[in-house]
Amino acid sequence: MRVPTLICLIAALSAGLAACASTPREPARVENRYPGANVSGSSSPSRISRMDCGNSYTVRRGDTLSEIAVRCGVDMEELASANSLYRPYALNVGQVLSMPRPPVHVVQRGENLYRIGLRYDVPFQQLAAHNGIRPPYNLEVGQQIRLPQGATVVNLASRDTSAGSASTSRAPTRETSPPPAQAGAPRFDWPVRGAVLSSFGRKPDGGRNDGINIEARTGDSVRAAAPGQVVYAGSELAGYGQLVLIRHTGGFVTAYAHNSRLMVREGDQVSQGQMIAEAGSSGSVDRPQVHFEIRNGVNPVDPMSYLR
């Protein structure tokens, strides 16, 4: 059992023991009602006043679990789980409900806010605002980063693990035309010159490439597509091998994967065209190439719409 779940269970049991030790209270009105349900005489969720419930909420006369969830801004199912409640969610006046613990990420050595956001598919700017972290977004090992409700781990390695065997003659599945490059975006140069082995988007085998894979020779110079700051340089993301991530103006980030040697470190400021790595075949590929991505925040965009 995970520690947060155990803590919530202990809190719920403590509240239940306290209720048993005191004078029985009048049961609260029990209604299996959900936000948006059309129940005669019930309050519309849009009319329920929101409040900061903190870590707990004391049940009042007439409360239902769905209304409490709306009032406290939490998911009803998570609220029920945190308090070991089961349908029909019977409540007692005066009962203390523990609020669901917000999901957190504990910072590990070598992590930064961008990498954490990439892991949970949450823009690092949103994480910074959610946790009151200001530029330059310095983190400490062991620091707890609160995640938005509903954040889930993204399996990055599954997105592009077969690019090395892709053929230039294989036609990708038909997709709508990519949107034009965003106005005000940096001007991106090619990180290396070569044939495109795998294009952006979905593939015939059901996989997806969040960037493009460019043919290269081992040791070829891999260059920064635009000026920016190195936010990651290492090999800890499975499937990507030796990887460099560079943050640019406008919230854009570029990724350069499968390198044989890295020439920069986290925190380095790089200029456009500066050599940042030597090409190779590290990670999940079997031939030398550069996997190149452009992301607007955490959202991948087709590099071909931005490269000049």
pLDDT in tens, 215-249: 999 999 999 999 999 998 998 877 889 999 999 99
The helices-and-strands tally (H runs, E runs) of the chain is 5, 16
Q: Is the pLDDT of residue 201 over 50?
A: yes
Contacts of 69 (CB under 8 A, 6+ apart): 35, 75, 76, 79
Q: For position 27, what pLDDT does the model report?
A: 47
Q: Does pTM top 0.75 for this prediction?
A: no
Domain spanning 104-146: CATH 3.10.350.10? yes
Tell me what the mean pLDDT of segment 268-292 comes to.
94
Higher pLDDT, 38 or 26: 26
CATH 2.70.70.10 boundaries in the chain: 157-171+180-305
Residue-level length of the chain: 308
> What distance in Å separates the CA atoms of residue 221 and residue 215, rounded to the nearest whole number?
12
Higher pLDDT, 102 or 191: 191
The partner residues of 289 in beta bridges, in order of sequence, read: 215, 280
Q: For position 181, what pLDDT does the model report?
A: 52
Least confident of 81-95, 148-162, 264-278: 148-162
What CATH superfamily classification does 157-171+180-305 receive? Answer: Glucose Permease (Domain IIA) (2.70.70.10)
Q: Is the pLDDT of residue 158 over 60?
A: no
Least confident of 152-161, 172-181, 247-256: 172-181
Tell me what the mean pLDDT of segment 54-58 comes to.
85
Higher pLDDT, 17 or 307: 307
CATH 3.10.350.10 boundaries in the chain: 104-146
